[in-house]
Amino acid sequence: MLLNTFAHNKKIYLAYNEYRKRIFSELAPRDSAAILYLLPWMLSVNDRAVPGYMDGLEKPVTVFGAATDPALLARESTFKKRFNIRKQAPLMTSSAEASIIQGIYTIGSVGTIGQTPSSDCDIWICIDKNNFDDGARTRLSQKVNLIKDWMDSNLKMPVYFFICDIDDIRRGNFGSLDDESSGSAQHNVLKEEFYRTSILISGKIPLWWICFDPGVDTDYEEFAAQYAKDIFGDYDCIDMGPLPTIDRDEYFGAALWQFNKALTHPLKSVIKMLLLEMLLGAPREELLCHRFRNLILNQQKNPVFYDPSVFTWKAILEYKRGTDFETFAFVQKCYYLRHEIKFYSKKETIRESIGREIFQTYPLEKAEIHHLNDFAAWPLSEQLDFGENILRLLKLIYNEITPKQKETASRLTRRDMTIIGRKLAVCLEKKQDKIPVIRTPSANLNLPGLTFSSKPGGWQVLASGDSPKPVTASSDITYCIAYLVWNDLFHALDVRMAPNPTPVTLQEIHNLAKRIKEIFGSFDITGIDFKNFLEPEKVTKMLVIVSFESPSHLKDMNDFSVLYCSNWGELFFRRFNSPEKFKAFIKDSGRKFSGMDMCYYVRRNSLYFEKIIERTKMLVTQIFAGLST
């Protein structure tokens, strides 16, 4: 590669990086300033007043180039004022003795129109482990955690830090499966996303981004070797390794993990699932990150920059053009809602101006756009129907990609496969007596007022102003209450009760709902410890509800409604009309119920509240005593 080509690529990359920073700044002015400028400054200073201060730090830490970065130097006086520092001398200093952070980068939707008010920010802090011994690495981790604590308290955007070793990145080694990564399910897939979506916050430019020569097939390893020999007289780049191709099984592993994430973030994940479906369909074609880099760098005067999320979506739509009209239109709606675009609104943002290109090529009807703009006001039933349609689309994608990969565990560890498989089962599998989980398209449902109504044959709960279809219905009111609480639909101020001849009162409904919430919470698959899915299924908590629908003056001990949850996060409901049947149920289930927490509930207005509670406890104690003999 010629020197002028190298210089041109570097100049274009830095201009493109500033373009991405501008998008970030417009979409989140306050938070972006803290992440793009205050963060590298805090990492590069060690003052008692600044978050991240380490007492007795023997070897300073600094971000490469931070001490001479004009953007940081221009803001340092503002930073000092923020933390009441009166020192006149610069706090960032260059030192040959310092442990150097090679670079700080975002990855994902930040700085694209995919960034929304609910987006988080994943940040890679890249180091060379040869420059950090065990002690220095520990101190860096402590410093980063202190800074994160401050950011958690002062920013709206959740920020997650990942300290990465450059050699691990070169080899595509991103650790084991945990709450914030997909471990063995992703290797080069994650690296491809990094190259395609990252923003350089501070530090060195990924050398891969500069490795481009129009019309020439540039060999990355040869180029990296030349750069290491100082042929270009440049020290501002970092060798994170090439990315020539990605194996099909890695795409499949990433898709499987993304399907798992879709269980809690369906709108966000369906876009990634569509991407992975496309990549699995043609895994040997030029990688998207290469195509995107070539589009950015293959420009001369007055370059035009592109949003990586828009570029990616255009590629997906090209791939999906042959899909039936109904599915294709629904895919477009998902993208529109996921990116919170609102055409024809009074105030146009950068999100609409950048996203307009796609919808000019693949338009939606004007009436449909207005309807999507009002998504937050849709009736609950329509929002839930949309969530079910997303799930159906996800299943279609899953069924499409599964035949393309028979040996699913070639890149996935057995541990990962077990965890993912059981999480999928918890969310999707229908089991006898299991309380079903609704499919919410977003975290902000339009929750209406709910009315409990007694009908011949049982109970139903209707949503105000919604369709006549009940939100839930059952012969047992306890089931209805549990369903609403488990799906986080029960909010006491919005719950009503139609006049009815039963002994149940609205206050008792509130009381029981509160008790169920205290014991079981609401369904949250992300709140289940991963190690639970590696253990056999067992019951962890049980709530025995006695004679909830019986008149308050009866000493009835023949009506038991039972709720119990497992260590995998599933909630079940049973009802028994005699102590014998309840006892037989426990015995038939064997050791599955041993060691669980037992709770009880009797209506407060029962005249025999204390007696019924004591008798129930005695009955349950006898049942479990029989199991141990």
| Interval 253-273: pLDDT, tens | 777 777 777 777 788 788 888
**Residue 353 within a domain:** no
Helix axes 350-361, 308-320, angle to 10 degrees: 20
Provide the terminal-to-terminal Cα distance of the chain, rounded to the nearest Å: 80
Say how far apart CA 556 and CA 339 lie, in whole Å. Answer: 55
The band of 625, judged by pLDDT with boundaries at 50, 70 and 90, is low
For 405, phi then psi, to 5°, come to -145, 100
Closest CA to 380 of 482, 452, 449, 454: 449
What amino acid occupies position 470? Answer: P
| Interval 557-614: pLDDT, tens | 678 899 999 999 999 999 988 888 888 887 777 667 777 888 888 876 555 556 666 7
The answer to whether 329 touches 354, Cβ cutoff 8 Å, is no
Say how far apart CA 201 and CA 186 lie, in whole Å. Answer: 24
**Cβ-count burial 489-523 (b if 16+ within 10 Å, e if not):** bbeeeebebeeeeebbeeebbbbbbebbbebbebb
For 157, phi then psi, to 5°, come to -80, 120
3-state secondary structure of 456: coil
| Interval 457-496: pLDDT, tens | 899 999 887 667 899 999 999 999 999 999 999 998 899 9
Q: What is the DSSP string of 231-289?
A: TT---SEE---------HHHHHHHHHHHHHHHTT-HHHHHHHHHHHHHHHHSTTSPPHH
Question: What does the mean pLDDT of the chain come to?
Answer: 86
| Interval 137-171: pLDDT, tens | 999 999 999 999 999 999 999 999 999 999 999 98
The answer to whether 508 touches 603, Cβ cutoff 8 Å, is yes
Closest CA to 197 of 90, 119, 300: 119
Q: Is the pLDDT of residue 6 over 90?
A: yes
pLDDT at position 247: 80
pLDDT at position 612: 66
Residues with Cβ within 8 Å of 34's Cβ and at least 6 positions away in sequence, in order, are: 151, 154, 155
**Cβ-count burial 422-459 (b if 16+ within 10 Å, e if not):** bbbebbeeeeeeebebbbbbbeebbebebbbbbeeeeb
**Residue 594 within a domain:** yes
For residue 58, CA distances in Å to 97, 126, 430 come to 10, 21, 58
Q: Containing domain of residue 17, as a range?
A: 3-245
Say how far apart CA 542 and CA 170 lie, in whole Å. Answer: 50
Residues constituting the chain: 629
pTM for this entry:
0.82
Radius of gyration of the chain (CA): 29
Strand arrangement of the beta sheet that strand 495-497 belongs to: 472-474, 458-463, 450-455, 495-497
Which residue, chain included where needed, has tokens 């009880």? 600
Between 182-186, 384-388, 556-560, the lowest mean confidence (pLDDT) is in 182-186
**Residue 97 within a domain:** yes
Say how far apart CA 84 and CA 51 lie, in whole Å. Answer: 12
Give the end of a domain, one of 198, 221, 245.
245
- Beta partners for residue 472, in sequence order: 461
What tokens appear for 154 in the block?
A: 């002062």
For residue 534, CA distances in Å to 417, 528, 530, 537, 567 come to 10, 12, 7, 9, 10
Mean pLDDT value of segment 268-295: 84
What is the tally of structural domains in the chain? 2
**182 vs 519 pLDDT, higher one:** 519
SS3 content of the chain, % helix, strand, coil (to 5): 50, 15, 35
**Residue 477 within a domain:** yes
Say how far apart CA 291 and CA 175 lie, in whole Å. Answer: 27
Q: Is the pLDDT of residue 520 over 50?
A: yes
pLDDT at position 610: 63
Mean pLDDT value of segment 321-338: 90
**Residue 529 within a domain:** yes
pLDDT at position 396: 83
pLDDT at position 50: 96
The answer to whether 126 touches 169, Cβ cutoff 8 Å, is yes
What tokens appear for 248 in the block?
A: 């099909």
**Residue 349 within a domain:** no
**Residue 320 within a domain:** no
Closest CA to 209 of 198, 445, 201, 217: 198
**Residue 176 within a domain:** yes
Give the end of a domain, one of 230, 245, 260.
245
**41 vs 387 pLDDT, higher one:** 41
pLDDT at position 113: 93
Between 14-23, 121-130, 314-323, 473-482, the lowest mean confidence (pLDDT) is in 314-323
Give the end of a domain, one of 222, 245, 268.
245
Which residue, chain included where needed, has tokens 């009074």? 346
